[in-house]
Amino acid sequence: MAQLATQTTCPYCGVGCGVLAAPQADGTVAIKGDPAHPANFGRLCSKGSALGETVGLDNRLLYPQVDGKRVDWDTALDHVSDRFKQIIDEHGPDAVAFYVSGQILTEDYYMANKLMKGFIGSGNIETNSRLCMSSAVAAHKRAFGSDTVPCSYEDLEQTDLLVIIGSNTAWCHPVLFQRITQAKLNRPNMKVVVIDPRKTATCDIADLHLPLRPGADAFLFNGLLSYLKQHDCIDWHYLEQYVEGFASSLDSASKTAANIPQVARQTELSEADVAKFYQLFASTEKTITLFSQGVNQSTSGTDKCNAIINCHLATGRIGKAGMGPFSITGQPNAMGGREVGGLSNQLAAHMEIDKPEHHDRLSRFWNTERLTNTAGLKTIDMFQAIERGDIKAVWIVATNPVVSIPDADQIKRALKQCELVIVSEIEKQTDCTEFADVLLPALGWGEKDGTVTNSERRISHQRAFLPAPGEAKADWWMLKEVGKRMGFAEQFEFETAVDVFREHARLSAFENHGERDFDISALADITEQEYASLQPIQWPITDNAPQGTARMFADNHFYTASGKARMIAVDPHYPQNEVDDEYPLVLNTGRIRDQWHTMTRTGRAPRLNAHISEPMIDMHPVDAGHWQIQNKALAQVESKWGRLTGRVNLTQDQRPGSIFVPIHWNGQFASQARVDTLVAPLTDPISGQPESKHTPVNVRPF
């Protein structure tokens, strides 16, 4: 007999849609959008709708293994903690590392951070969110003094001008795109500008598409700031009261992007298009700039984000309905990871690793003398340190770095020679598990229970509705068991996910007198029953805002020392690696509509594979003619770092001079198609985010 539907959330993108899941008598799961969830109001995209087809136990990792042999949990956990202790005793705490994921739940994330930073005493914990939105995090902190996303999804429906930059929202955040499309139908005067080198499906609703030169975003927005000043569109009252840094930012903008002809040359856009965009922005008060990986994944990603934020601060377009800079995250719980300090340079509850008062506060809260005060290595540096042998043990949780990190073959080399590789996974066989000394079976979507935070700061409960398969356990449970075995039993005494969530909520409130944005103090004493029935709610959630907070900075208070927002002087740069005779084309990477990350889940659903069934190389016909490449023929793409084989798809939507290849195909599906083997391991010096949108390559017939 079919069970009643469980209210849960989709495990894929950062929209964070609510899902109703009902296991059926025949073993399948019926899936519907949750009409009560404020992210999607019942809508689902193709990936979310197919969730029921992805829950089978084929290739599931069902029991712990050490050195290829099945063992019980005690043996596996003793082995992990003994080896960790031995390596730390011999080489110090920085000889071990965790690499976790925006796919795990906040409770898992909290435990991983507590163990690594608080008790092992190293900053060496990274999340794959580094690859996705760390430039936005760094820019938020520079501008607002905190990693705060100011807007809500409803702002996207209320705005009069939506500028979408570096995001194929139609494919990567489809339900949000459906909401935007509906809003535009309801309010035909709403304008949409899409800024993207490619003409993507998102352009279907664009009033203006700007196919700018790849990487030229900051020139465009510096030019916009110059234009706003020249056309008397600055909100001087707002600037005077609430913002600092205008003069130096304007000075930089004026020096680097002074006028429309100059910006048109820098961005390779027509002067008419640049002028049209600037006029629209200048004349429309209710403006949102929605940005994502196309901006973030750059060696100057942080500056690009700040160039965008600058224009909103200069016009006072933030903290009000339908206005603001809006960074949208790729993963379902990238935001939850940020809340608990998932990046190597953060502490939990939006505290800073290099602030002595934060260090002191967290040390007392966790009752530890081992809390690190030093940032750990960022993702690219971390795996290079593993290859050098400086890091001797790594625990990889719910992610597939052999496929997803730039210079992916370097990750293989690193893991191959690493002394101890622990992988907690739902899959028995991935590109990563073959390097594991210890395999720990994790609960997957539908089996695990905890919380996630979507792109609009909304915390939702992701609930279990399926039994745990085999001996699989929650990631937070494994981590706390290792913490106890390493000698920290008292501080890792958690029985349930709600115990973890409660401590997380209490920490957000601990000695927080309004100087930290992340505050969910109203949930600090949440009972098991209240947690079980927790409805989606946006942080901050405090006694003053028990129903949550839709919009930040409405009071014009920022979390900097002065309480004012900061405009940042931006000196725009093109991508670090330029094309040359040997590698004359730019490789751009990204998502396709019906697959998720490295396809370990979506690859199971036949209807999702039907959309685009094999690795493709999107290419402009002019380039194809130049290099004698035929449509639908196989071709080889090569960079300084690696090569890939795929089928060419000729399209006028591709900007001449650049190709696009999806990120998804893993070595299990297509041995020659891991696109990150080609991508340069170059990073933004501030955020550490890799430049995944701009690698010089050549293409040849295969």
- Least Cα distance to 668 among 423, 372, 402 occurs for 402
CB of 467 to ligand SF4, least distance (A): 23
Which strand (E) or helix (H) includes residue 281?
Answer: helix 271-283
Cα separation of 420 and 150, whole Å?
Answer: 41
699: left (phi over 0), alpha (psi -120 to 50) or beta: beta
Listed residue (287, 99, 105) closest to 192, CA to CA = 287
Between 12 and 242, CB nearer to ligand SF4 = 12
Indicate whether 603 belongs to the interface with ligand SF4 (CB under 6 A): no
What's the CA gap between 457 and 539, in Å, rounded? 6
Site string for ligand SF4, 62-91 (x = CB under 6 A): ------------------------------
396 lines the binding site for ligand SF4 (CB under 6 A): no
Find the shortest distance in angstroms from Cβ 463 to ligand SF4.
15
Structural contact between residues 439 and 64, judged by C-beta atoms closer than 8 angstroms = yes
Q: What is the DSSP string of 553-574?
A: STT---SSSSSSEE--------
Least separation, in Å, of the C-beta of 553 and ligand SF4? 26
Nearer to ligand SF4, 83 or 173 (CB): 173
13: contact with ligand SF4 by CB under 6 A: yes
Among 17, 29, 76, 422, binds ligand SF4 (CB under 6 A): 17
* Amino acid identity at 510: F
Using the rule CB under 6 A, give the single segment among 167-175, 249-257, 281-289, 650-658 that binds ligand SF4. Answer: 167-175
Contact call for residue 290 and ligand SF4 (CB under 6 A): no
Footprint on residues 19-58 left by ligand SF4 (CB under 6 A): 40, 44-45, 47-48
Provide the minimum distance between the beta carbon of 49 and ligand SF4 in the complex, in angstroms, as a whole number. 7
- Residue 12 in contact with ligand SF4, rule: CB under 6 A: yes
**Site track for ligand SF4 across 169-188, x = CB under 6 A:** ----xxx-------------
Q: Report the run of H or E that residue 417 belongs to, with start and end.
A: helix 408-417
306: helix, strand or coil = helix
When the beta carbons of 50 and 353 are compared against ligand SF4, the nearer one is 50
d(CA 678, CA 587) in angstroms, rounded, equals 9
User: Quick check: 334 binds ligand SF4 (CB under 6 A)?
Assistant: no
CB of 600 to ligand SF4, least distance (A): 15
Half-sphere exposure of 59 (CA within 13 A, CB side): 12
Per CB under 6 A, the list member of 15, 116, 402, 439 interacting with ligand SF4 is 15
What residues numbered 434-493 form the site for ligand SF4, per CB under 6 A?
none
The closest residue (CB) to ligand SF4 is 48
Token pair listed for 357: 């008062």
Segment holding 210, helix H or strand E: strand 208-210
Residue count, binding to ligand SF4 (CB under 6 A): 14
Question: 5: which residues sit within 8 A by CB, 6+ positions away?
Answer: 20, 21, 22, 30, 32
| Interaction of residue 10 with ligand SF4, rule CB under 6 A | yes
What's the min distance (Å) between Cβ of 484 and ligand SF4? 35
d(CA 340, CA 107): 9
Q: How many CB atoms lie within 10 A of CB 571?
A: 13
Site of interaction with ligand SF4 (CB under 6 A): 10, 12-13, 15-17, 40, 44-45, 47-48, 173-175
